[in-house]
Structure 1
Amino acid sequence: MSDLYFGLKLYVLWFLGMFLLGVAINLLTKKEHRQSLSKLAIDHVRMSFAITIVGLIVCGMGWFLFKVV
């Protein structure tokens, strides 16, 4: 189970790091192109959800190919 906890910690660190990177990039853009924090958070959750689904599918296929077969 320690591998699971380690993976979850890495995922949380990645999630927060990417969000803070998005906030930093948003602050560096011109004022007329900036997004509100709520819009930025919604876009981040959508992006993270899509990346997570793809990662889970790839991990599932790898597990099936190398452990099951």
Structure 2
Amino acid sequence: MTRKSPARRLTGPERDRVAAELKTKYEAGTSIRALAAEAGRSYSAVHRLLADADVTFRPHGGARRGSSAS
């Protein structure tokens, strides 16, 4: 079994660039979990980058299922 090496710390312009890319994908509908997996970073690291990029977060839980109003 192989272990993933820890992600390298992002600083300065590189951090800004990655945050902007993540913001674009998140605003296009990609979930934070999917972004984290794609970027090889933790959920909380991606959430922090998005928050620093002034993202307006979607509500938790996704689409609701249930009976439709009659």
TM-score, normalized by length of structure 1? 0.27
State which structure, 1 or 2, has the greater radius of gyration over its C-alpha atoms.
1
TM-score, normalized by length of structure 2? 0.27
